[in-house]
A and B are shown apart, each in its own frame.
Chain A
């Protein structure tokens, strides 16, 4: 299957008409973009091939370190991950909330369904088959678009960040018009990552247990711990809610087509009645599916994004906490050294390095956390307002359909 999507161009959806306007909202929403003409990044196109997706990253910039003002490169998911990891591993950025990496494109479920459909082709009528196929393609397209949007959000966040936007790797990522020959991590590295994470989370518990002298950070720490868990929960629950909403919409769809077959059996009054109701359901199920899709975009994706963003913020707090612990240990070591009058100079240097590191992190972290909150509130506001507006729009659409259909039906009977 080849699917080509450019989120920028509105007209390209042949299948699903949901998503078209709404999907653009996402990236502007989650990232509180300071619209800055000096560096603008977007994904202008994307191509889905078997198990990989190729994103066309389009950059417009007036910054002097780029050779041109406008250019595009093709990037894959792994390269995004590489960029993200390079930020995380860079000590310089320890004091910043590293924009969360985009989730891996996952078309497996959708592909599987498509395959099943192919197998079951014989057992259904042509109309049913076409309808099912359209549905699945729509679903596939929706996932695809979301994937693209998530990757774009990541780039936009980086481009909007006062420090990260200047990162060399980022520039290479944007400009170098060949394969970055990034490879996925091999098993050994993955295992190492796993152990690193185990150590980190164990350490995280340790570090979190240390009482912070700074009330701001102490507060942020408790807040983020709880917030992260809750947003995780809400995200999972919203997914389930939306999934059952989609199933209900699918049912209505099938009811519509069965009513249609019933209605075409004969030409009686009742059959005409069935046809009208079928027509109605055909329309309302589209709206119902859009309600589910919009809830997915405005609610579930928002929550999912903040699940990852709050994790990134937690990571920042961990790094600061770690630095604090290091600093305190260095202080103790210095005291000890002074008492013994041994290696005092070295201990002093270490203590100073730790102190500087801690202070540097604290300084930027405070601002980062304040920004995080501002961004979050703005994003929630925007998304919730849009959600409510879309819900209203759809409910009104449904209402109107029902009213006019009832008018016709009652007039007839």
Chain B
């Protein structure tokens, strides 16, 4: 028991943070204010300037010192840069801030306070690490109860190893101490932050990972997650902390591994969530929900009207030779949006960059319930053909198909008001040289993990029995499921039409040749002439079929393929929501158990442990409230997103199908022309 109680406090910092953030209007708002504008409002000019000032300096500052100091892979720098602007920074700062300010000011938060206070006290012991807590969260209660000693010893040992390297003996207290400084400065004009950060950096230097940026802070937290895991299963996570280079990869990996069981997952999310979810929270909490919705709708409409961003992907070009060859595409943007540095700009990107963009976006936004448009799949077969460099039409078709798919993908990304605001998107469109993102190799590794993850996800989905209270979601989830199924079916059929039309085109060409031959051997002059005319007509019809097959494919079939992928993304959002629900329910259960413990203690008359039990109850009550709120928040977001998605889908389908019907109409007009020209020839046979 003692062991468990010791371990329990640490979780607070992680889990409490968001709570505090939300609750305390004073401190948090300063930050959330900016974050809202950054995330949600595409237009407000007034808020922008400050934002930019913040972001840009930050980026530079961050990246330079970072690379010097840490000599981390460039990759990392990138992921870090985005984070400051995307509010994660806010969290970073707000945490400590809250801690400090709250102690003094907000009485409501009193519960947490004691904990916070306790924490340091208790922490010292187990605290080298502060991690056990996380472990505890995640671990089922039973574990806690069953084998506290084991768990703690294990985790602490692991931790020691990790922490030694990671923190080089500094403990969190230091970190926090430093941070507060930063925070206090932050609210001030934009100039100072520079100092702040440099300061931070220098302080942090020693601990490469934690340091530089919010993501990392969280990543660190994520890293802590691995610690609990060792006890659970994975040994790989141990190596985690050790090699800072692998860090990114692993943080990803841990996310995926943690999905195995909803519980681990939940824990994971605790760690990661606050960072990203923070921006959304303010929206929900600052303005009451109903008004905020209408606001959002307004915003959406506005953004549709004022949306002025044309993206085209053109000029696919093979770069390099052999198996190292890749296709580079020209990404041109034309816009009057002030968030971009100029009105037109062009960059060259390769396929893996597009995938990298998706990875970054989904990492940040998926868990909030955003529908992140998925890019086209990797195609080893198609690409190998291109690499081998055979100039056959199928590889040209492959390249064109991919080019078009990438273009649609980017257009979908930027047409999402929130994603458009993401610095990664801007960087992708604007920045001349994009660091070799999340290298393809890593990606395929990630792809493998993803597959594993999907399988386990399916299992966990089965185990999670969510009794859906929300009728809207209940129906929508079913609808999406059905819709996806029908779309798949339809897609198969349209593909079959494409193939048959191609076949028809080929057979028509062959027939045309044959008729031409027949015509040449016919000894009646008029008939011979008519037959060669017929051959010509068939030749043109062959062209027509070919064009129509291309239209079947590009206008119709690819539309379906896109939406099958998008519906998958929608389902992903539903899953995120379900996970949030699960987390909340688990917390409820935990709270229930804690109450039972308290009751038992009361009955057994053990006052010495009573206080601790009460603390724990308070802790879990806070968590329940937090998770419930998070669940409500993600529900609201997903709902909003799905409504938006449906609107877009309707618009897309209508536009594309009309376009498709027009292509059919055009085909028929041509056909009429051809046969009308032929008719007199046939009549002239005598």
Interface residues of A (CB under 8 A from B): 219, 223, 226-227, 230-231, 233-234, 237-238, 240-241, 243-245, 247-248, 251-252, 254-255, 258-259, 261-262, 265-266, 268-270, 273-274, 277, 280, 284, 373, 376-377, 380-381, 384-385, 387-389, 391-392, 395-396, 398-399, 402-403, 405-406, 409-410, 413
Which has the most chain A C-beta neighbours within 10 Å: B489, B518, B646, B649? B518
Q: Which of B498-557 contact A (CB under 8 A)?
A: 500-501, 503-504, 507-508, 510-511, 514-515, 517-518, 521-524, 526-527, 530-531, 534
Q: Does B686 contact A (CB under 8 A)?
A: yes
Q: Indicate if the CB atoms of B507 and A226 lie closer than 8 Å.
A: no
Q: Is the CB of A270 within 8 A of B654?
A: yes
Q: List 18 A-B contacts (CB under 8 A).
A: A223-B523, A227-B518, A227-B522, A255-B494, A262-B483, A269-B650, A277-B657, A377-B686, A380-B527, A381-B683, A385-B682, A387-B682, A395-B671, A396-B672, A399-B668, A402-B668, A406-B665, A409-B661
Known A-B contacts A265-B482, A266-B479; the reply to A273 vs B661 at CB < 8 A is no
Q: Distance (Å) between the CB of A197 and the closest chain B CB?
A: 25
Q: Is the CB of B493 within 8 A of A258?
A: yes
- Is the beta-carbon distance between B662 and A406 smaller than 8 angstroms? yes
When distances are taken between beta carbons in the complex, the residues of chain B under 8 Å from A233 are 514, 517-518
Residues of chain B lying within 8 A (CB to CB) of residue A377: 524, 526-527, 685-686
> Which of B494, B503, B534, B679 is the one whose CB lies under 8 Å from A389?
B679
B685–A262 contact, CB under 8 A? no
CA distance A280 to B679 in the complex (A): 28
Residues of B within 8 A of A395 (CB): 668, 671-672, 675
Task: Check B497 against A261 for contact (C-beta < 8 Å).
Answer: no
A396, B162: Cα distance in complex, Å? 77
Q: Are A405 and B668 in contact (CB under 8 A)?
A: no
Nearest CB on B from A306, distance (A): 10
The minimal Cβ–Cβ distance linking A88 to chain B, given in whole angstroms, is 26
Residues of B within 8 A of A230 (CB): 514, 517-518, 521
Distance A255 CA – B517 CA, assembled complex (angstroms): 37
- Which residues of chain B are near A396, meaning CB under 8 Å? 668, 672
Known: A241-B510, A262-B487. 10 other contacts (CB 8 A): A244-B507, A245-B504, A258-B486, A258-B490, A259-B490, A270-B646, A280-B661, A380-B527, A384-B534, A395-B675
B685 to chain A: which residues have CB within 8 Å? Answer: 377, 380-381, 384
- The answer to whether B501 and A248 have CB atoms under 8 Å apart is yes
Point out the residue from B530, B649, B650, B658 that lies within 8 Å of A410, measured CB to CB: B658
CB of B508 to closest CB in A, whole Å = 5
B503 in complex: contacting residue of A226, A244, A254, A258, CB < 8 Å: A244
Nearest chain B CB to A393 CB, angstrom units: 9
Residue of A nearest to B533 (CB): A384
- In whole Å, how far is B94's beta carbon from the nearest beta carbon of chain A? 42
How would residues 471 to 482 of chain B score, 1 for a CB under 8 Å from any chain A CB and 0 otherwise? 000000001001
CB distance from B662 to the nearest CB of A (A): 7
CA distance A413 to B669 in the complex (A): 24
Instruction: Answer yes or no: B653 CB below 8 A from chain A CBs.
Output: yes
Is B678 on the interface with A (CB-CB < 8 A)?
yes
Chain A residues closer than 8 Å to B479, beta-carbon distance: 265-266
> How far is A243 from B672 in the complex, measured between Cα atoms in Å?
22
| Nearest B residue to A258, CB-CB | B490
Size class of the B contact interface (CB-based, 8 Å): 35 or more
Q: Are A234's CB and B650's CB within 8 A?
A: no
Q: Smallest distance from the beta carbon of A321 to chain B beta carbons, Å?
A: 19
Contacts of A273 in B (CB 8 A): 650, 653-654, 657
Among B487, B515, B523, B683, max chain A CB count under 10 A is at B523
Min CB distance, B564 to chain A, in Å? Answer: 13
Please indicate the chain A residues that have their CB under 8 angstroms from the CB of B661 in the complex: 277, 280, 402, 405-406, 409
User: Residues of A contacting B517 with CB < 8 Å?
Assistant: 230, 233-234
Contact mask for chain B residues 345-382; partner A; CB cutoff 8 A; 1 contact, 0 none: 00000000000000000000000000000000000000
Q: Which residue of B lies closest to A271 (CB)?
A: B650
**B470 at the binding interface (Cβ < 8 Å):** no
Q: How far is the CB of B480 from chain A (nearest CB, A)?
A: 10
A234, A247, A392: the one within 8 Å of B672 (CB): A392
- Find the A residue at minimum CB distance from B494: A255
B521–A399 CB distance below 8 A: no
Choose one: A237, A254, A387; the contact of B507 (CB below 8 Å).
A237
Q: Check A247/B500 contact, CB under 8 A, given A255-B490, A262-B486, A262-B487.
A: yes
- 6 closest A-B pairs by beta carbon, nearest first, are A251-B497, A381-B685, A384-B682, A244-B504, A241-B507, A270-B650
Q: How far is the CA of A70 from the CA of B412 in the complex (A)?
A: 76
Closest residue of chain B to A291, judged by CB?
B671
Q: Tell me which of A255, A284, A398 contacts B497 (CB under 8 A).
A: A255
| Chain B neighbourhood of A241, CB < 8 A | 504, 507-508, 510-511
- Do B665 and A403 touch (CB < 8 A)? yes
What residues on A are CB-neighbors of B665 within 8 Å? Answer: 399, 402-403, 406
Chain A residues with CB below 8 A from B679, complex form: 385, 388-389, 392
Which listed residue, B497, B522, B654, B686, touches A248 by the CB 8 Å rule? B497
Give the residues in chain B near A254, CB-CB below 8 Å: 493, 496
Asked, given contacts A259-B490, A273-B654, whether A252 binds B497 with beta carbons under 8 Å apart, the answer is yes
With contacts A399-B672, A402-B668 taken as known, whether A381 is within 8 angstroms of B490 at the C-beta atoms is no
A280 to B483, CA, bound (A): 21
Of B486, B527, B672, which is within 8 A of A265 by CB?
A: B486
Within the complex, which residue of A248, A259, A274, A388 is in contact with B504, where a contact is CB–CB below 8 Å?
Answer: A248
Alpha-carbon distance between A231 and B497 when the two chains are bound, in angstroms: 30
Cβ of B392 under 8 Å from chain A? no
Residue of B nearest to A251 (CB): B497
